[in-house]
Structure 1
Amino acid sequence: MSWVILSLSDWKTRSKSDRQMAHAENAAALLAARAVVSDAREHISAQLLQVSGRALYSPASTLVSGSPYYFLGVNPGEAPDVGQIHSSITVEADLTRLEEGHVAEHGYLDEQWKSHAPGSAPIQVRGQQLFALLSGDPKEDGRALLRRTPTSNFVLQRSTSVEALRQRTGSSESELALHYWPFHQAVIRETNCEAVITHAVGIARYLAGAFGLGVGTVRPSGWGGTLANCYAWRLREGPMLLAVPNLSRYSPDGLREPALRAFFQEFLTSLEK
């Protein structure tokens, strides 16, 4: 009987400890989120925040999760279901959600994009495949690592396409990405990530030029044509910037897997060589 009492007591102690740890982690996440939001509001014009768009596609907890990566696409798309908050919210409103801890879903895992089931749209699935490679074992499920990873887009403003974005704003997606870069700088600072992983090669190359980083190191992507290359740079903020072809057309599995695995292993210390 004494063994049972001790076990229950031990369970209660651990439970209380777990609650305290969760509270501390939540507090740290909110502090990090508020720092990111503060930087965004200070360094990005109000005009670029008061537009339909998204900030972080993942909860504030991903800012303090310890994931070595920050994952970026091009820009948010417009969804047909205006009843979903992520279909019509402004960048500023999304920043408010982030700093108040109201972002609960991870865009690549939990959100419903167009008519697909949550987490099953082609780009979502390919993002999960990419993170299986980043986990160090392409046979593993990449969703656990992706769930811990902060995720966003170079351009926070929403559009149906990059062409529509250019027509509406009078600027290219790359020029807009430069204006939104302070948000990403803040995420990099708070996460202390090892690498920014992106499937927006054109924007990455533009920013690398704007930052004086040169043409970067070029490696094969395992595919051909305009999607033949991956690129690597060292950002002045510290982490690597690693660009792979856009996941709307490029699937990181099958014949492309060996080239991608070699690319990541070359530039990421977090992966076993």
Structure 2
Amino acid sequence: MHLNTEYFEELWLSDNQKKEPTVELWDFRAEEYNLALSTEDAQLTRQEKVQSLIDREIINAESTVLDIGCGSGQFAVELAKKTKKVVGLDFSEKMLSYASANATAAELKNTEFIHSDWDGYQCTEPFDLVIASMSPAIDKPKHLYKMMDCSRGFCYLSSFVERHSSLKEKLYRLTDQTYLSQFNKLNFIFNILWTRGIFPELTYETGIHQRVFPLKTAQGIFTREMSVLDKPEQVSHIHQYLEDIAENEVVTESLQQRKGELIWKQS
């Protein structure tokens, strides 16, 4: 079998079984998400990541950056401290409100945040670096190619390779759904790039991550992540189970996860 670009494109398209997060979910999660990424450890990790990009001459003080699915903007803010301009793009207005507030708090004047999904965004001029950091926006080949077309320098893309949650597994069973713990997107992208003569750097990071929510917040988040808001019986099952396992009105989810990171030169 000849493994060409079309082969991996078709694999990727046929593998799209996971439900992508909705705008409503990200709007609901915006406050919690912003707080989770505002810790001292999270900030230090971003600073190290940006410094690594500088050390490898991927960005400098004159670089322009496009952040696809910027969320609450912490990565965009850290990049903007070291570059000429950063444009952040997200389809959640609430996420963008936090992004703007974070940029203002950092006294930055070189950030722009745009309310749009990736399909609707028009790239009028190329950027020196285009990033999609843990972003669900790149979920099919045409999204990857658009990302590449918007870059005149480098592309950076990170995604889960594997993520397992015993709590989420239980909730899937409660709602008669199949738990999907494997994430194949990064493998498809890596192979697509190779068949096009592009040889990216690939690195992995493995660890355990904990999400901690007040009970009511957990009930809201998990019913949305499980896409059962329109199914009252399943909502009731989730709410009751989370109430049963909560300790002092707090729900903790432990995730065993592996992240992959691709960086490649586009031009």
| TM-score, reference length from structure 2 | 0.29
More strand, by proportion: 2
